[in-house]
Chain A
Amino acid sequence: MIEFRNVSKKYDTGTEAIHNINFKINKGEFAFLVGSSGSGKSTIIKLILKEEEPSSGNIIINGKDTTFLKPSRVPFLRRSMGIVFQDFRLLPDKTVYENVAFAMYVVKATPKHIRRQVPMVLSLVGLSNKAKVYPNELSGGEQQRVALARAIVNNPSMLIADEPTGNLDPNTAWDIMELLNDINLRGTTVVVATHAKDIVDKMNKRVIRIDQGNIVRDEKGGYDEV
């Protein structure tokens, strides 16, 4: 599903963010990408989204090498992934419903499909009763749920979350994690970049640990286990 083969990334500034990284995340897997800030996990996320290009190596997504993907094909690659950020990134002048529907609109879904799909994902994230509310009237956890709903509304085969609980209190963070787990159980591959130790420990999933641009550990378990 997501495979990195000898991937290195050196920025124009000269800093080498990741160095010769290899890993493979299979279809339906749940994997944590952990490490302190500056370790290179954000770079890995950006490379998966094709927001950045690798300096060397190959990145294979859904069986396709994206290294030489034409820029005009990138939108279609991104339609196979749902993306969630630490800062939610909702549109403040659109309601919860509109925020989710927006993601379907821009990929030119039919109105009929939108009317059916949006209520369904809103109920999945437990926000059916907040459809007409604006984001600023919601708590942080609820906003992240909207973002999650938006990320999965187009039925992506994978969900990429970059520090999804970074702005949330521990209880809310745990709710979001459970939701991510639910989504994973429905068959979606989930990759979560985080440095929330307690959550990683509690989830007991595969952990890929990055330190100074290298993978120092890749196994099932908690945050720190060696």
Chain B
Amino acid sequence: MRYNVISYLIGEGFKSTFKQKKMTSASIIIMCATMFIFGLFFVIGENVNSVIRQIESQQGIQIFIEEDATEEDIETLGNEIKNINGVNKITFVSKEDALNSMKATLDDNQELLDGWDEENPFPASYFVTLTDLSLNEKVQDQIFKLEHVDEIASENNTINRLQELAKGIQIMTAIILALLIIISIFIISYTIKLTVHARRREISIMKYVGATNSFIRGPFIVEGIIIGLISAIITLIILGLSYNAVMGGIGESVLIQDIGIGLLSFSDMFLLVLSVYLGLGIGIGILGSVISMRKYLKV
């Protein structure tokens, strides 16, 4: 018996979805368009976040240690830095390490460093990576208060800009999501209102013979879900294809490869985008149909 009710609801839902062909396709197209725009911002946002995470893992703070610090001082400083909230990894770079790495950078021009081996001018330092770039300034403030810290070098500007960019994209995505939800609910509820109106006789008879509201609502909610699902799947395909096309172009550019920072492939985000789209499609479908039915259930 349960099975019968469910098959009735789904059957009726499908029937009415495809009866109102024009309106159904119009609402699917509009939903696809809005969901696509949202999807664009969503994948861009995901990429920016991923880039930030990658930079975060590379980006760090270089803490130069005063010349007169003893080995003991250096060790205490290292422990103190380790205990600061937000510090991920800490590496000690000795004076020799610094000189060697400079040597490696200079390659063929070793003569520039002639004689520096006796009196190494490079200070020892700690290289610190952060768990979260937004803690950058806080961590720096705390490190500055420690003893034997000479100077701190970090890419403050880069970090701040990335943070701002990520925040901007987040806000845009949120605004577009809100707009998408409003427009789509409106469109779906309008479409379903047409079906409801066409079937108002049936609905009133159902009310008189004692059908419950949830039973009457069922097929229309199914209709909303079908529209939402179809839109979600179509948009997912379009978004995936266009993303891969654009990425194909960018991926070949030398620039990206040189920086050593990779962008996400669509398959990395597939599950996330799929669940966001399905959630949106189904949610909007249900809300739209419930709204459109309110008036007709008052008999």
Binding site for B on A (CB under 8 A): 49, 51, 72, 75-79, 83, 89, 91, 102-103, 105-108, 110-111, 150, 154
In the complex with contacts A72-B212, A91-B202, A111-B207 CB distance below 8 A: no
In the complex with contacts A105-B8, A106-B215, A76-B210 CB distance below 8 A: yes
Are the CB atoms of B210 and A75 closer together than 8 Å?
A: yes
Which residues of chain B come closer than 8 Å to A107, judged between CB atoms? 209-211
Which residues of chain B come closer than 8 Å to A110, judged between CB atoms? 1, 4
Are the CB atoms of B209 and A91 closer together than 8 Å?
A: no
* CB of A208, distance to nearest CB on chain B (Å): 22
Are the CB atoms of A106 and B213 closer together than 8 Å?
A: no
The 8 A CB mask of B1-17 against A (1 = contact, 0 = none) is 10011001000000000
Q: How large is the interface on B (under 10, 10 to 19, 20 to 34, 35 or more residues)?
A: 10 to 19
Are the CB atoms of B207 and A78 closer together than 8 Å?
A: yes
Which residues of chain A come closer than 8 Å to B246, judged between CB atoms? none
Among A78, A102, A108, A111, the most chain B Cβ lie within 10 Å of the Cβ of A108
Are the CB atoms of A75 and B202 closer together than 8 Å?
A: no
Q: List 13 A-B contacts (CB under 8 A).
A: A78-B208, A78-B210, A83-B209, A89-B205, A89-B208, A91-B201, A102-B205, A106-B211, A107-B211, A108-B215, A110-B1, A110-B4, A150-B209
Among B4, B207, B208, B216, the most chain A Cβ lie within 10 Å of the Cβ of B208
**Residue B194 is within 8 A (CB to CB) of chain A in the complex:** no
Alpha-carbon distance between A134 and B253 when the two chains are bound, in angstroms: 69
Alpha-carbon distance between A154 and B207 when the two chains are bound, in angstroms: 14
Alpha-carbon distance between A10 and B211 when the two chains are bound, in angstroms: 28
Give which listed residue, B5, B204, B208, B299, contacts A108 with CB less than 8 A. B5
Which residues of chain A come closer than 8 Å to B1, judged between CB atoms? 108, 110
Binding site for A on B (CB under 8 A): 1, 4-5, 8, 201-202, 204-213, 215-216, 299
* CB of A180, distance to nearest CB on chain B (Å): 17
Chain B residue, CB-CB nearest to A76: B210
Which residues of chain B come closer than 8 Å to A91, judged between CB atoms? 201-202, 205
Are the CB atoms of A75 and B211 closer together than 8 Å?
A: yes
Alpha-carbon distance between A135 and B37 when the two chains are bound, in angstroms: 49
Chain B residue, CB-CB nearest to A77: B210
Are the CB atoms of A106 and B210 closer together than 8 Å?
A: yes
Which residues of chain A come closer than 8 Å to B201, judged between CB atoms? 89, 91
In the complex with contacts A75-B213, A91-B202, A49-B5 CB distance below 8 A: no
Which residues of chain A come closer than 8 Å to B205, judged between CB atoms? 89, 91, 102-103
Give which listed residue, A72, A79, A111, contacts B209 with CB less than 8 A. A79
* CB of A94, distance to nearest CB on chain B (Å): 9
Which residues of chain B come closer than 8 Å to A72, judged between CB atoms? 212-213
Alpha-carbon distance between A79 and B209 when the two chains are bound, in angstroms: 6
Which residues of chain A come closer than 8 Å to B215, judged between CB atoms? 106, 108
Chain B residue, CB-CB nearest to A79: B210
Which residues of chain A come closer than 8 Å to B207, judged between CB atoms? 75, 78
Chain B residue, CB-CB nearest to A147: B205
Report the 9 A-B pairs with minimum CB-CB distance, sorted nearest first. Answer: A79-B210, A106-B211, A78-B210, A103-B209, A75-B210, A75-B212, A83-B208, A106-B206, A110-B1
Chain A residue, CB-CB nearest to B211: A106
Chain A residue, CB-CB nearest to B205: A89
| With A79-B210, A106-B209, A106-B210 already in contact, 13 other A-B pairs whose C-beta atoms are closer than 8 Å | A75-B211, A75-B212, A75-B213, A78-B208, A78-B209, A83-B209, A89-B205, A89-B208, A91-B202, A105-B8, A106-B206, A108-B1, A108-B4
Chain A residue, CB-CB nearest to B208: A83
* CB of B4, distance to nearest CB on chain A (Å): 6
* CB of B217, distance to nearest CB on chain A (Å): 12
* CB of A11, distance to nearest CB on chain B (Å): 15
Alpha-carbon distance between A201 and B215 when the two chains are bound, in angstroms: 43
Alpha-carbon distance between A150 and B5 when the two chains are bound, in angstroms: 19
Chain B residue, CB-CB nearest to A99: B205
Are the CB atoms of B212 and A154 closer together than 8 Å?
A: no
Are the CB atoms of A111 and B213 closer together than 8 Å?
A: no
* CB of A31, distance to nearest CB on chain B (Å): 20
* CB of A42, distance to nearest CB on chain B (Å): 14
Alpha-carbon distance between A79 and B210 when the two chains are bound, in angstroms: 5
Are the CB atoms of B202 and A51 closer together than 8 Å?
A: no
